[in-house]
Structure 1
Amino acid sequence: MPDPSTISDPAATVRAMVADRDAAGQRLDRWLASVFPELSRSRVKALIEAGQASRDGAVTRDPSEPVREGSTYRLGVPAPAPAAPAGQAIPLVVLHEDDDLIVIDKPAGLVVHPAPGNPEGTLVNALIAHCGNSLKGIGGEARPGIVHRLDKDTSGVMVAAKTERAHHALSAAFARRDLERSYLALVWGVPAPAEGRIEAPIGRHPVDRKRMAVVPRGKPAATRYRVLRAFGTAAALLDCRLETGRTHQIRVHLAHLGHPLVGDPAYLRRLPAAARALDPTLRAALTGFPRQALHAASLGFTHPATGARLRFDSPLPPDIAALLSRLGDGRDE
């Protein structure tokens, strides 16, 4: 890494630190994140992989490299750059907004951030248009402000950061699971017992890499569930709480339990046995539901600036509410 005086971007900074005995052997990204607490570990990792870190003058790109006692490490932190995605005037339901963060009620069908196949029309595009310059560059990625995500067809509460401090604090809270999150899930059949805990490791499906699966060498994952309402033996509305945050965790765990989400295009592979006893019209309503029936109903966290404990709730969206009403009217309870 060049000397600070030779950095082409005059707004960039280079931070240096000599590793002491306590640092020796730690992962480089973990140690640098502890040394520079204003930066999240994911941000530090990205900077290292981009060639912005050096050890004793030699560039290193390995975030897992063990720290060497006595070595001098430098980390270059470029000035926040304008976010790559462009702002788009997409309506948002804002539950709360202040100088540090924004909480929104995401509708089903809205992708969180640009990706291949969805280069625009995302929540990030909407946030950039709504927040303007306050959001640009936060997080140092092409997904400014994003600290967690919901699947495209999952609705409900999300929080985004508007400052680097908030991004770091909220990212850390999600990593530690130091927050409250509840989901409402409509599933096929009725789980027994009515309240339980699913603990099963999750990783990429061994054949279909676009899906996740319970696999022996997956990452540890645990989900708590509770039956809120049963509709005969055909379906049930569950309250789900995450102990970990793996991709598609609730969807994978409930399918593994034998109670896949109604409408799940990835993890509902065949017509459930619970559907056979239903009235044909009601069965068609459930099998034809166009998305996974999953809703992020609440989110609670500590405000990164004030320290106040906040909680936000989102009512069931009209499509799931209407489906529950039809199930109730069907008198299958």
Structure 2
Amino acid sequence: MDERRFKVDPEEEGERLDRVLARRLGISRRLAIRAIEEGKVRVGGRRAAKGYVLAAGEEIVAEVPTDLAPLPEPRALRVLYEDEWILAVDKPAGWPMHPLRPGETGTLANAVVAREPACARASADPREGGAAHRLDNETSGVVLFARSRPVWMRLREMFAVRAVHKEYLALVRGAPEAGEIRRPILPASASRSRVARSWEEGREALTRVEPLEFFDAPGQGRFALVRCTIPTGVRHQIRVHLQAIGHPIAGDALYGGARLAGLERLFLHATAIVFDHPVTGRRLRVESPLPEELRAVLAVLTRGRRAR
């Protein structure tokens, strides 16, 4: 057994202790409840009930098995930037960020620790393999990893204080106006798919939307390619916000996105991340090119491009 410490992420606020513990430790909810009832879990230094509602920033300490680090699994991995402190890679769509169970493979973290073993010891949650932030399984694009715990902690702090600029490209139904979407997001934690909803109460969230191109898809309606930037980082934020204003992302089955001929995935890609290097202080911009399958969809739509 080993002692694990981690803080509740902003997107986990409002969730039950047993659910967050199970997800973070990669164990079943039943085992998480047993650990809580046996007094092996503390929140803010005190024992808490399984249904305790968590707040962002609270520290959870738990006794856990020691075999949770991702198994190294060599896979083709595009490196976008690297130095002795950090690593930025291109996450393909469909790759989970990290294992949920001991021994699980097929995730981005498995591939990263195979290439850079030091990343396995960088993050507080060993399953994350040093990842400083997350992308949804269906989303592709740039992800930052740390090679040491101090650098990981600094990167996490930068994300927490909104010192990291994140850009995305999305294809949406309709013709949205340029502007800002300010709507709180409340996670519907009872759902295994982690569906999030706009709500009167919830986590503050801001998404800036900039239309880039407009298209007419014969028999399928109008679509727009938009650039989204987010200073906040609530789970499913861009997907929820665009759906809330009536412009869901193409291919997003979870939030009512339109099906589009030739599109077999969610059309959401993390194109760039801009930040001050956690060690040198140098301003960095790391970019990820649009994947071939998304470029192919745009190439078809270009035939129906129209001026607005």
- State the TM bucket, normalised to the shorter chain: 0.7 to 0.9
Structure 1 segments, 4+ long, off by >6 Å, are: 49-55
Deviations 1:109-128 (A, max 9, x none): 11111126993110110111
The alignment's TM-score, normalised by the length of structure 1, stands at: 0.69
Give the Cα–Cα distance (whole angstroms) in 2 for the partners of residues 117 and 291 of structure 1.
28
1:313-332 correspondence to structure 2 within 5 Å? 313-332=287-306
Q: Secondary structure at the match of 1:174?
A: helix
Q: Does 1:216 align with 2:200?
A: yes
Q: Which residue of 1 aligns with 2:73?
A: 88
- Stretches of structure 2 that go unaligned for 5 or more consecutive residues are 9-23, 25-35, 49-53, 56-60
The 3 A distance-change label for structure 1 pair 86 and 230 is same
Whether the aligned pair in 2 keeps the contact of 1:165 and 1:304 (CA below 8 Å) is no
Whether the aligned pair in 2 keeps the contact of 1:265 and 1:291 (CA below 8 Å) is no
Tell me the C-alpha RMSD between the 2 structures. 3.3
Whether the aligned pair in 1 keeps the contact of 2:164 and 2:231 (CA below 8 Å) is no
Give the Cα–Cα distance (whole angstroms) in 1 for the partners of residues 171 and 135 of structure 2.
17
Give the alignment partner of residue 296 of structure 1, picking from 261, 266, 270: 270
1:273-312 correspondence to structure 2 within 5 Å? 286=260, 289-312=263-286
Cα offset for 1:220?
Answer: 1.2
Deviations 1:197-228 (A, max 9, x none): 00111112488563111112221111110101
1:238-253 correspondence to structure 2 within 5 Å? 238-253=226-241
Q: Secondary structure at the match of 2:255?
A: coil
Q: Secondary structure at the match of 2:154?
A: helix
Give the Cα–Cα distance (whole angstroms) in 1 for the partners of residues 149 and 288 of structure 2.
26
Q: Which residue of 2 aligns with 1:204?
A: 187
Whether the aligned pair in 2 keeps the contact of 1:205 and 1:215 (CA below 8 Å) is no
Give the Cα–Cα distance (whole angstroms) in 1 for the partners of residues 102 and 261 of structure 2.
26
* Percentage of identical aligned residues: 37
The 3 A distance-change label for structure 1 pair 138 and 202 is same
Whether the aligned pair in 2 keeps the contact of 1:83 and 1:136 (CA below 8 Å) is no
1:108-119 correspondence to structure 2 within 5 Å? 108-115=93-100, 119=104
Q: Secondary structure at the match of 2:166?
A: strand
Cα offset for 1:135?
Answer: 2.1
Q: Aligned partner of 2:91: which letter? A: K
- Stretches of structure 1 that go unaligned for 5 or more consecutive residues are 1-7, 13-28, 31-45, 65-75, 272-283
Whether the aligned pair in 2 keeps the contact of 1:82 and 1:136 (CA below 8 Å) is no
Q: Which residue of 2 aligns with 1:105?
A: 90
Q: Aligned partner of 2:84: which letter? A: D
Whether the aligned pair in 1 keeps the contact of 2:212 and 2:224 (CA below 8 Å) is yes
Give the Cα–Cα distance (whole angstroms) in 2 for the partners of residues 205 and 240 of structure 1.
23
Give the Cα–Cα distance (whole angstroms) in 2 for the partners of residues 143 and 224 of structure 1.
28
Give the alignment partner of residue 167 of structure 1, picking from 152, 159, 170: 152
Structure with larger Rg: 1
The 3 A distance-change label for structure 1 pair 231 and 166 is same
Deviations 1:80-124 (A, max 9, x none): x77522100111100112221100111111111112699311011
Q: Which residue of 2 aligns with 1:120?
A: 105
Give the Cα–Cα distance (whole angstroms) in 1 for the partners of residues 75 and 280 of structure 2.
29
Q: Which residue of 2 aligns with 1:143?
A: 128
Give the Cα–Cα distance (whole angstroms) in 2 for the partners of residues 116 and 203 of structure 1.
26
Give the Cα–Cα distance (whole angstroms) in 2 for the partners of residues 190 and 305 of structure 1.
42
The 3 A distance-change label for structure 1 pair 110 and 53 is closer
Whether the aligned pair in 2 keeps the contact of 1:51 and 1:60 (CA below 8 Å) is no
The 3 A distance-change label for structure 1 pair 169 and 287 is same
The 3 A distance-change label for structure 1 pair 106 and 209 is closer
Q: Which residue of 1 aligns with 2:175?
A: 190
Q: Secondary structure at the match of 1:312?
A: strand
The 3 A distance-change label for structure 1 pair 322 and 166 is same
Higher mean displacement: 209-218 or 144-153: 209-218
Q: Aligned partner of 2:182: which letter? A: E
The alignment's TM-score, normalised by the length of structure 2, stands at: 0.74
Give the Cα–Cα distance (whole angstroms) in 2 for the partners of residues 331 and 99 of structure 1.
45
Q: Does 1:263 align with 2:251?
A: yes
Q: Secondary structure at the match of 1:322?
A: helix
The 3 A distance-change label for structure 1 pair 206 and 178 is closer
